Amino acid sequence: METIDRRAAWLGITVGIVLVFDASSGGVYAFGSGLETWELTVYLGGLVCLVAASAFIVAALAPVSTGRLLLEQRERFVFYALVLFVLALIAIVTLSADTAIEAHRHPQTLGG
């Protein structure tokens, strides 16, 4: 197994875990009266980045027999996947921070 394959595999596992947890926590961002337009845009943008990163990882991990990808092209795909993954993480952190700020500004009392 080449180094690029190991890197792509680890990144793929990481992206997969984050994609599952981010997609399942979509309802958490609906604070109070619902999502604002910018929140929905950031959330969907983050999901698109994760899906695109997954596609780049699959392309980078494709067996040499199915495609004639050079090592440089595979490295470029892994780099693009990493950039998209970081953008998705920024979107997740932005939404989480906004949710925390809103929860602090508008605390909800238990049982009332």
Q: What is the mean pLDDT of residues 5-19?
A: 88
Q: What is the mean pLDDT of residues 21-37?
A: 66
Residue at 112 is within a domain: no
How far is the C-alpha of 102 from the C-alpha of 91, rounded, in Å? 17
What is the reported pLDDT for 62? 81
**Global confidence as pTM:** 0.80
User: Which of 32-36, 66-70, 76-80, 107-111 shows the lowest mean pLDDT across its residues?
Assistant: 107-111
Residue at 109 is within a domain: no
What is the reported pLDDT for 21? 82
How far is the C-alpha of 76 from the C-alpha of 66, rounded, in Å? 18
Residue at 110 is within a domain: no
Domain count, the chain: 1
Residue at 111 is within a domain: no
Structure tokens belonging to residue 24: 């399942």
Across the chain, what does the average pLDDT equal? Answer: 82
Closest CA relative to residue 15, chosen from 45, 42, 55, 44: 55
Residue at 107 is within a domain: no
pLDDT confidence bin for 78, thresholds 50/70/90 = very high
